[in-house]
Amino acid sequence: MTYKYIIPWVMMAQCFILVTTSNTSKVPAIIVFGDSSVDAGNNNFIPTISRSNWPPYGRNFPGGKATGRFCNGKIPPDFISEAFGLKPTVPPYLDPKCDISDFADGVSFASSSSGFDTATSNLLRVLSTWKQVELYKEYQKKLRGHVGEKKADYIISEALYVISMGTNDFLSNYYLNPLVQVRYSIDQYQNFIIGIVENLLRELHNLGARKISIVGLPPMGCLPFERSTNIFRLKGDTCVEEYNMVAMSFNSQLNTLLQKLNKEVPGIRLVYANSYDLLWDYIHDPAKYGFENTGRACCATGRFELSFLCNELDPTTCQDASKFVFWDSFHPTEKTNRLIAETLAKTGLKQFF
């Protein structure tokens, strides 16, 4: 990712505001890998500029904390965790104020600006996919020491694993790097990323994961930043059609891969989370969901701002984020995240309740 795409998420007391975990859930923990769509603040604790731990980020989060989530409030894993009767927020693994007792029933290894392609993660020196897996292995050792081998095996095998990344690979790497475009056609690059996804899923299975939900790409051409910076490429619906076509093609291949692995890999249960259609519906039929603004975001002018450009010094930030699909020019509002998580809980994730 380059400086124009700072796509991540003061973690003062996040670990201490979590409520007691329910013991009735069939899923004992939520374990998260990915980018800024699901990063709860890991980037606060690594040397990168890809952060958002200042106001007005987090203004609707419990306690008004800017946790490092790229949102005005909660992100999808928080709502999914709550839906399963677990704690209402999933903490970042790198937070030094947390320990294994805070992570036993939910933890995020996600890192804003990350991607499946390690080259994408290297752009802003964030946690790559495989570094996140290394941290997960470390987590497993700590978990076994905390709860014992038998209970740890149960948590690892019955936990819900959420994976959400890929947008940065295309918008922050492929389309901005001529060297990548020389090496791969867009179809070849999609195949390359799908290959990484398959390797990741097989590795997580080898490590004991069984219940995995992987989120597809959103309608990338409809993000406010892309609309603003690609104005001459917009089509009739004011979205960048090329980017949306790539997202749909990739999602189709991803879904096919998951169906194949469900048949080939013993005991695995892979669920495709269709975020594309959900966001598309919010953007193109906003009144149905109580939205009023879809082409621009809440923070500042809503055209270009994210990360450090989205700050409390800008007086133009909207008063009511619930009327907007997007919080900054790249990331959804808490309301949008809640709607997505609620729909996924009622559909693909329903089998795990």
Domains of the chain: 14-219+241-276 (3.40.50)
Residue 77 has pLDDT above 50, yes or no: yes
Known catalytic residue at 284? no
User: Comparing 18-22, 112-116, 161-165, which segment has the lowest mean pLDDT?
Assistant: 18-22
**DSSP at 20:** P
pTM check: above 0.85: yes
Known catalytic residue at 205? no
Active-site residue (options: 50, 108, 228, 331): 331
Q: Which two tokens stand for residue 244?
A: 């949306």
What pLDDT, in 10s, does the model give residues 82-111?
A: 999 999 999 999 999 999 999 999 999 999
Of the pLDDT bands very low, low, confident and very high (cuts 50, 70, 90), residue 125 is very high
Say how far apart CA 336 and CA 58 lie, in whole Å: 15
Of the pLDDT bands very low, low, confident and very high (cuts 50, 70, 90), residue 238 is confident
Three-class SS string for 295-325?
CCCCCCCCCCCCHHHCCCCCCCCCCCHHHEC
Known catalytic residue at 36? yes
Active-site residue (options: 25, 36, 121, 275): 36
pLDDT score, position 17: 34
Q: How many residues does the chain have?
A: 353
pLDDT score, position 5: 36
Say how far apart CA 248 and CA 227 lie, in whole Å: 18
Say how far apart CA 11 and CA 88 lie, in whole Å: 16
The neighbour count for residue 159, using CB atoms within 10 Å, is: 22
Residue 271 has pLDDT above 80, yes or no: yes
Q: What is the CA radius of gyration of the chain?
A: 19
The neighbour count for residue 96, using CB atoms within 10 Å, is: 8
Q: Which two tokens stand for residue 11?
A: 């973690």
Contacting residues for 176 by C-beta, under 8 A, at least 6 apart:
2, 5
Integer distance in angstroms from the first to the last C-alpha of the chain? 37
Active-site residue (options: 35, 102, 117, 328): 328
What pLDDT, in 10s, does the model give residues 126-148?
A: 999 999 999 999 999 999 999 99
| Helix (H/G/I), strand (E/B), else coil: 146 | helix
